Structures are given as C-alpha cells and as structure tokens.
Structure 1
Amino acid sequence: MAGTGRHAVHRTMVLVDVEGFGAPTRTLPHQLGTRAGLYAVVGEALASAGVPWDMCYHEDRGDGVFLLIPPEYPKAPLVEVLPEALARAVRGHNTTSHDAAQARLRLAVHAGEVAFDEHGVTSTALTRGFRLLDAAPLKTALADSPGALAMIVSRLIFDEVVRHSATVDAATFRPVEVTVKEVQDLAWISLPDHPYQPDYAVLSARPPAPASLDTAQGAPAATGKDADVGGDGPGNGGAGCRRVSIAGGVHGGGSGITIGAATGDHLTVGSSPVPPAPPPAGEPKNPS
C-alpha cells in the first residue's frame, strides 16, 4: 500500500481517541488493557462495516489509532454501521474490564488525499482529520453524553454521505464550528448510542465565513502609515496595478505630499495640479 511514491492518493480516514486516557486513575496496566480493548473494538466495528482490518493502513497514537480505508470500500457504512457497532463493542469491553481500563471514545471520519513516504503518511487532509478529533465541541459532546461514543464528521462527509443516507437521519447530527489551529470550518457531531432528537432546521447550517488573508495572518488594519496604493482591489485600477505598502517617510504638505516607500520609490499624492497663471495682459498666449 505504501508503494505509491510521492503521489497523493485518496483515502477515507477513521480516527479514534480514548477519552481521559492519561487520567491519574489509569495505571500502566490499565492503559495497556485500554489499548488492547481499543484495538479489539475498532477491529470488530470495521468488520461490521464490511472493511477488513488487514486491508487498512493504520498507525498507533498511544491513546488512539487512525486508519486509512482503501477507496474500494464505500464511505456510507463508515457512518451508517461503524459508529453504532463501535459503541456496542465499547460497552461490551467495559462490562468485562476494570473501571480504570474502561473507555469512552471520540471518532472522526474525513476523506481526502494523503501521501506516503518512508516515515508513514501525511497530508493537509489528514491534519484536518486530527483537528476534528481534537475539537472542543466533540470533547464537550462526549463529556455531556451518557453514551460511550461521540462522532464528528467533516463537512465533506456530511454533505456527500450523511445527507444522502437512507439509514442515518441527518437531522440527528448537530453542526459545530471547529476552530483548531489553522482549521476553521463547519463539522457535524452525532451521538450514535444516545442520539440527539431530530431537528431538520439544523440542515440549513452554513460554514463560517473565511477570515481575510490579512486577518488570518494577524496583520493590523491599514493606517495612514500602512496603506495600499494602486492595489488590485475594487476601485484601485483592477488587476495588474502595483500594490504599494507605504513604509517610508511622508514629506511635504499643502496640495500634495511625497511618500518615500521602503523600496526607494517615491510617489506624490495630492489634489490635481494647480494650472499656471494666465499671462499678463497684452502678451500673446502660448499657442500650445
């Protein structure tokens, strides 16, 4: 599977994390028991969704695991079958485990391009999957639920899979804004073993408006000493005009000022030039 060279390939991503894995009550033997249970329940849930464990690329995350599902396996069972099967398997694990080895899980499902190398796998899409798994609304949803599992799906999975499902009621999902590091987007949360009441009004939720480039990079608003002149925005002459950030000195006064830009260029900004005085009476006017 890893022999794809440097070319990215499409994969569905299933990411699972154990709530409170590092709690003081979990000793090392308890952590080992929790991890063994995690792999067992994820494998069982995948099989219920028709996906063999051995066909998936997977990596351990200490308190969790992520899997890349080959493209020949459809996405729908991963949101229609796997979540309930996973919750059911977790409850079975908990009934036979020490209290400190029991588990509740967060689940994220996303899809996108990934690239393999000698160290493993990486991509922007995979990073987004981990941001979803770490989102505060997902942690809150699980903490507030009596169930064993909280699931978050990306906007892509919700729009392309959940909305069209004849098995899962999309109205039992809840839209949340995920803001984790560089990610700001709409995602959807469900509680497979303790579902929200259907609310069809939520289906019209829209993603948050993206921040402007300057705002996203933390740049201050333009001031009298940091302005754009001749940019390609509305009213600035359109594409092809130079964008000048004024960083030099400002000289002169009255009807015009001269700006010394950081590049060493100079630009005079002011009102229209004052026309020359008319010649004295009796002298011929300049034919030009």
Structure 2
Amino acid sequence: MAGTGRHAVHRTMVLVDVEGFGAPTRTLPHQLGTRAGLYEVVGEARAAVGVPWDVCYHEDRGDGVFLLVPPEYPKAPLVEVLPEALARAVRGHNTTSHDAARARLRLAVHAGKVAFDEHGVTSTALTSGFRLLDAAPLKKALADSPGVVAMIVSRLVFDEVVRHSATVDAATFRPVEVTVKEVRDLAWLALPDHPYQPDHAVLATRPPGPTSLGTAPGGHAATGNDGDVGGNGPGNDGAGPRGVSIAGGVHGGGSGITIGAATGDHLTVGLSPVPPAPLAAGESKNPR
C-alpha cells in the first residue's frame, strides 16, 4: 500500500472462509453463487461496523476472503457487531439460494504488524491469522453448531478487546488450544448466532506455553510460559518477587560455584576472594 514502504504497519485482520466449499455437491455454478454471496454478506457485515471497503486491504482466497482494517478503526466493533451482522447476512443469503450455493462461515479475528510489497502482504502475524482460521477446534465448533457462523479470536484480541467489552459476554467464549504447523497458543471460540452458555470459570484459563500467535517458532509468549524464570510458567504460581529456581546441584569450591540445572545448563558464579585475616603481633606469615 502507498506510503508503507517496507515498514510493517499495524492492522486488524478479519479472515472469512466458507465451510465445505469444495464439496462434491457444489458444482462450479454453485461455487460462483457461493462466492457472490460471500462478498455480499461480508460487505453487509463490514458496513454494519462502519468500515469503508476502500480503506481496507483485501485479498480473495477462492473459498474465502480476508480484510486488513486500518488502526484508526477500533477493534471492538469487529468482535461485538460484525459476527452477528455476518450471521444475519448469511441467513438472508441462504434463504434465497440453491441448497448447494448456501454458506456457513468460519471467521477469525487477529491483529498485528503486516508488511506490504509489490506482490501483496505478509507477516508472521498474518500467517498466524490463517492458522487460526484452519484450526481444528474452529472447524468442529461450526460442524457441531446449528448456526451459520463460528468465530475464533486470538489471545491478543480476547485479552485486549473481548475481556473489556460491555457488549459481548466474554464468558460465552470458550478457550481452545490451537496447534497448526508452527503455531501453538490459546485462542477463543464463540458462536455468534447460537452462543455458548456463560461460564465465568473459563476466564481464568492460562495459555499453554511457547510459540504464541505472532511469535517466531521457538519464541516465548509475553504472558508467561514454560521458559519463564520466576514468572507465570508451570511450577510457579506467579506470586511473590521474581527469583531464580535451582533445579540441579550446586558444585565447586575455590573461586566459584557451578549451579547445574535439570536441563543440563550450568551457571558458574564467581566469588570475590576473601582477604586474609591480619597477623597478630609477632606471628609469622609462614608458620611451621
């Protein structure tokens, strides 16, 4: 996009995919009808949140579409208003369409930095958004639902937007672990047109560990993980001051000690030399 150069910029990501688009019963004319309906319903839902089409970057995915919404448009309506508007529009499409051209949609909402070039857009965060859309728990949630839309939001969107919403009940979301290729993280499911029963106990769910959405493979989530020292990872309740937990032995003498961790890592701590005690009057430096 103009003006962004090679610098990454923040965008909210809205990704939509049609369930069973390639089913044998959906012939090419049906697929074309489904795609036309997809753009119609996404357009209606986008208009409901007041985001103009021409301010969004968008790409067609054959059986889906994704939008990148500029940061001047708040994220909250994208999880408070858009999902239900999308479900209403889908039901309207389905009532006037051939059975094989009807649609049920998976929706993913994430946010993060993206970089534009002459070919389009890319980033780790955007890739993570597509991993959300492809997550098995989301597919199962839609398959098991009598509704027409199932939504998944990233942990970032849930923690920054959903938890603080006065419009949607965060307790109607359900935590799921997303494990798709390089991504392993906590995400949250919702069924906009057939919500789960509120369960406030789920709001205390903690993330599963390393490789969070938007984190490079092998990285660690900022909210605590297995690699945290004195943080909120497993084996630490998060209370009290940060410190070092020694899981191995302490060895050595002389000028230093070696702390052997259970992982096989070692840390050698040097000790300052202790000066000798002063000699008493008449005492030799080399007593025999």
Worse-superposed segment, 201-210 or 107-116: 201-210
Q: How does 1:175-194 map to 2 (within 5 A)?
A: 175-194=175-194
Q: CA deviation at 1:36?
A: 0.4
Q: How does 1:167-206 map to 2 (within 5 A)?
A: 167-206=167-206
* 1:197-216 deviation digits (Å, cap 9, x = unpaired): 000000000110228xxx96
Q: Which residue of 1 aligns with 2:267?
A: 237
In structure 2, what residue type is equivalent to 1:69?
A: V
* 1:65-113 deviation digits (Å, cap 9, x = unpaired): 0000011100000000000000000000000000000000000000000
- TM-score, normalisation: structure 1: 0.75
Q: How does 1:256-267 map to 2 (within 5 A)?
A: none
Contact 1:111 1:156 survives alignment (8 Å): yes
Question: Per the alignment, do residues 116 and 201 of structure 1 end up closer, same or farther by CA in structure 2, a change over 3 Å counting?
Answer: same
The 1-side partners of 2:269 and 2:30 are apart by: 63
Q: Which residue of 2 aligns with 1:150?
A: 150
Q: Which residue of 2 aligns with 1:208?
A: 208
The 2-side partners of 1:145 and 1:50 are apart by: 28
The 1-side partners of 2:207 and 2:133 are apart by: 18
Q: How does 1:1-288 map to 2 (within 5 A)?
A: 1-210=1-210, 234=261, 236-238=266-268
* 1:207-251 deviation digits (Å, cap 9, x = unpaired): 10228xxx969xxxxxxxxxxxxx9974723499xxxxxxxxxxx
Q: Percent identity?
A: 86
Q: CA deviation at 1:54?
A: 1.5
- Number of equivalenced pairs: 226
Question: Per the alignment, do residues 166 and 20 of structure 1 end up closer, same or farther by CA in structure 2, a change over 3 Å counting?
Answer: same
Question: Per the alignment, do residues 165 and 99 of structure 1 end up closer, same or farther by CA in structure 2, a change over 3 Å counting?
Answer: same
Matched residue SS, 2:141 = helix
In structure 1, what residue type is equivalent to 2:58?
A: H
Q: Which segments of structure 1 move beyond 3 Å, counting only runs of 4 or more?
A: 231-235
Q: CA deviation at 1:23?
A: 0.2
* 1:127-152 deviation digits (Å, cap 9, x = unpaired): 00000000000000000000000000
Query: Unpaired runs of 5+ in structure 2?
Result: 212-216, 220-257, 271-288
The 2-side partners of 1:60 and 1:94 are apart by: 21
Contact 1:114 1:122 survives alignment (8 Å): yes
The 1-side partners of 2:133 and 2:269 are apart by: 41
Question: Per the alignment, do residues 105 and 2 of structure 1 end up closer, same or farther by CA in structure 2, a change over 3 Å counting?
Answer: farther
* 1:182-204 deviation digits (Å, cap 9, x = unpaired): 00000000000000000000000
Query: Unpaired runs of 5+ in structure 1?
Result: 218-230, 241-288
In structure 1, what residue type is equivalent to 2:193?
A: D
- TM-score, normalisation: structure 2: 0.75
